Structure 1
Amino acid sequence: MLKIVVGHSDDPDSQGAITEVLEQCIQELAGMLPKAGLLFAAIDFDHASILQQINQTFPNLQLVGCTTDGEMSSIMGFQQDSLILTLFCSDTVEIFAGVGHHTEKDAITAAYQAVQQATDKNHAPTKLCITVPASYTSRGSTTSGEQILKGLESALGGNVPIVGGTAGDQFRFKQTYQFFGTEVFTDALPILLFSGDLYISHGVGCGWQPMGYKSTVTKAQDTVLYEVNGQSALEFYQKYLGDRQPTAEHPLYVYEGDSDRCYLRVPNTYDLEAGSINFLGNIPQGATVQLAEISRDQVIEASASSFKMALADYPGSEPEAVLIFSCCCRRWLLGTRAKEEYDLVKNSLPKMMPIAGFYTYGEFAPLQAQGCNYYHQETFVTLLLGTA
């Protein structure tokens, strides 16, 4: 058995919001005690007081969470400046939390810390890892999603799906917050590990349309792209965009080997003298890449494609809940149409079920069932949860 309940409030007052959220959850729990929780919170709440209130209501709850760039749920749909609490109850699924510290300095060690803390409480094989780590630190630099992913994969071992998203701060790009129990951090890696009688599936969708021909990265280092097909990165972009500068509207598709499976990388800054472009994620040297352009209708439709991909792969009869992790760039570029992403998922449900999610600064998910984990950008990730 797995029961998942959601509480959601747009009350701007922290005490008012958490009171409303807890009342909703308690009513839906109908006397059951939750094992674990996920908290998605807008940046301006008093997070410490909210965590204390949750702990007073549900002592020893395995709770993690983060700040967001927008929230969505089956209670209120798409919102900004709101608070969502998702609670998990089960007598057959074990869920334990862990947290690692100083991800900017050493994401690998932070991942090992988080996994060790969670697995010390439970030695059953892990079936799923949900993570909501730091993205921007107090100095405003990016925390490497790839390094976080590498650390978690190494610490977990095997082929454990890693799904989630990095914390946001409403496009201020100054400082995000992560939650663990009653603690608030600015450079941490919180995780929830699931084991036992758990069914899961996931889907990813982008919606950007490829432009031109597939090309080969001939020079790159970490997040900096220097050359494509022997010409500078800027010349490669200018061939298609003319004088327009690289922006989030024109990310780069990076293909998985010789397959058609791919993930997106978003250009951030560029160097006119060097002709290079710095992306918000690593660009592997030798990778096959292709420029992409935005089609807002297709970007919105990709949310439904992501859900349908997850539903087609779901191993049980019907899932019990949906978790969503969507990129902040999608929300920003879609503008007033952003709410259509959630609406398409809701309308695709085979039955009414709890939904919770947030807009992230980067997403984690495999590209396919039993596939390798990837760090994504400008992507809509759907996670379905249930039991036999």
Structure 2
Amino acid sequence: MKILQAKKLSNSKFEFASERIDLKEPLVLVFGNRFMLQDEGLFQEVRELFPDGHLVFGSTSGEIMGEKVLDGTVVLTAIEFEKGHFMVKSKNVSEFQHNDDALGRCLSKEFPKEQLKHIFVVSEGSTVNGSDLITGMEYGGNGSIGLSGGLCGDGDRFEKTLASYNQSPKEGEVVAIGFYGESLEISCANFGGWIPFGPERMITKSRNNILFELDGKPALDLYKRYLGDKASELPKSALLYPLSVRTDGGAAIVRTILNIDEERNAMILAGDVPQGSKVQLMMATVDDIASGARSAAKLAVQGRNTESQLAILISCVGRKLVMDQRTEEEIEEVSQIVGKHVPISGFYSYGEMAPFAGHRSCKLHNQTMTLTLFSE
């Protein structure tokens, strides 16, 4: 596996982290600030650097390269597989009337299953229901194939997110990368570090990812009461207090509030919040989050047969807001576990996709550190 990384500041050219090497038909992951991705010249600039590259773009709430967390930049990781190979497909939510389950099914069917090891998803993050997208992609037994990825970000603005494959980034795109070959070893894991607090309440009215009532009372009113003065900063302030959602017999999943609906007194979350589930507020300290990242890395490296050659990290914008000036600590924790020499790329997101430890089926998470490790 050959890897080349670079970063681009506003109004400047890409700066490569090492000496330029020629790569043959590489996979080029380009994660960056939404405003920079909107620049029509960016796609052409990357295309000129990699004329035969497969270019995948995604907007972020912060870029990860090495042990650094950047803002207002574009980071690029180009990968040439020496034995394995990959295939990239994309769809737009507008083609499916925002039926994310159908989009996932259609996207999944585009990948031949022979020797398919893993699918990595870079999805638009503003309107997609990540839970439905995963359900669609795993339909018909595809849950036996590894699946991970994340929902694109837009800082803490929540205005719009962009993604694309081999074209200028645009709204509504969902990009999936299928990895093939017996030589490839790909593992993934996630962990949060958030702590539940306050009373546990029951979801008495919800529809998919829209939460209307808790214990028979308007959910948004209750949430605002907990936030106090911070309620005026919604939806941004909700990133500091996500929800723990637990169904009977299932592991608790963390959910972030993406937006609020004042007219219906409801909250719109990044993934499903099933009626009858139990809900608690959550909070975390910087040390909790850094420790959670370390736990995620330990889970990702457990049982691997080969040493990692590339790590793609997707962490949540909420974690970044809590950690503030200490955000890089969680990346450093990961680097210590996977190996200081292992190239790291990734971004801060509006949602993370990965299975729970010991399981194959993927789930949508919020406020977690998610790793996907590659080697061949």
With the shorter chain as reference, the TM-score category is: 0.7 to 0.9
Q: Over residues 326-380 of structure 1, what are the superposed CA-to-partner deviations in whole Å (9 max), with x where a residue is unaligned?
A: 1112112222121222122223333511100101111111112433211111111
Matched-pair identity in %: 24
Amino acid at match of 1:107: D
Q: TM-score, normalised by structure 2?
A: 0.85
Work out which of the residue numbers 260, 265, 280 in structure 2 matches 1:290. Answer: 280
Q: What residue in structure 2 maps to residue 35 of structure 1?
A: 26
CA change 1:32–1:26 in 2 (3 A) is: farther
* Residue matched to 1:93: 84
Matches within 5 A, 1:360-371: 360-371=349-360
**1:73 aligns to what?**
65
1:383 aligns with 2:375: no
Aligned-residue offset at 1:256? 5.6
Instruction: Pick closer, same or farther for the CA change 1:54–1:250 going to 2, 3 Å.
Output: closer
Residues 253 and 4 of structure 1: is their aligned pair in 2 closer, same or farther, counting only changes over 3 Å? farther
Query: Which aligned pairs between 1:1-388 and structure 2 lie closer than 5 A?
Result: 3-13=1-11, 16-17=13-14, 20-21=15-16, 24=17, 27=20, 29=21, 31-45=22-36, 47-74=39-66, 77-103=68-94, 105-117=98-110, 119=111, 124-136=114-126, 142-154=127-139, 157-196=142-181, 197-212=183-198, 214-229=200-215, 233=219, 247-255=238-246, 257-259=248-250, 261-267=251-257, 277-312=267-302, 314-387=303-376
CA 1:273–1:149: 2 relative to 1, 3 Å: closer
- The 3 A distance-change label for structure 1 pair 305 and 84 is same
Gapped regions of structure 2 (runs ≥ 5): 232-236
Amino acid at match of 1:174: E
Tell me, in whole angstroms, the C-alpha distance in 1 between the residues paired with 2:225 and 2:61. Answer: 33
Quote the offset at 1:226 in angstroms: 3.8
CA distance in 2, matches of 1:272, 1:73: 38
SS in 2 for 1:172: coil
Instruction: Work out the CA distance in 1 between the residues paired with 2:163 and 2:184.
Output: 26
Q: What amino acid is aligned across from residue 207 of structure 1 in structure 2? A: G
- Equivalent residues of 1:111, 1:155 under 8 A apart: no
Q: What is the distance in 2 between the residues matched to 1:87 and 1:123?
A: 25
Tell me how far 1:91 sits from its aligned partner: 3.2
The alignment covers a number of residue pairs equal to 367
Whether contact under 8 Å (2:7, 2:73) holds in the other structure is yes
- Deviation of 1:116 after TM superposition, in Å, equals 4.6
Between 1:31-40 and 1:350-359, the stretch displaced more is 31-40
Superimposed CA distance per residue, residues 93-152 of structure 1 (whole angstroms, 9 cap, x where no aligned partner): 1211111023563334433454455x3xx552321111111122xxxxx22212222222
| Offset at residue 194 of structure 1 (A) | 0.6
Contact kept, 8 Å, 2:164 with 2:174, in 1: the verdict is no
Q: Call closer, same or farther: CA 1:372–1:216 in 2, change over 3 Å.
A: farther
* Structure 1 letter corresponding to 2:10: P
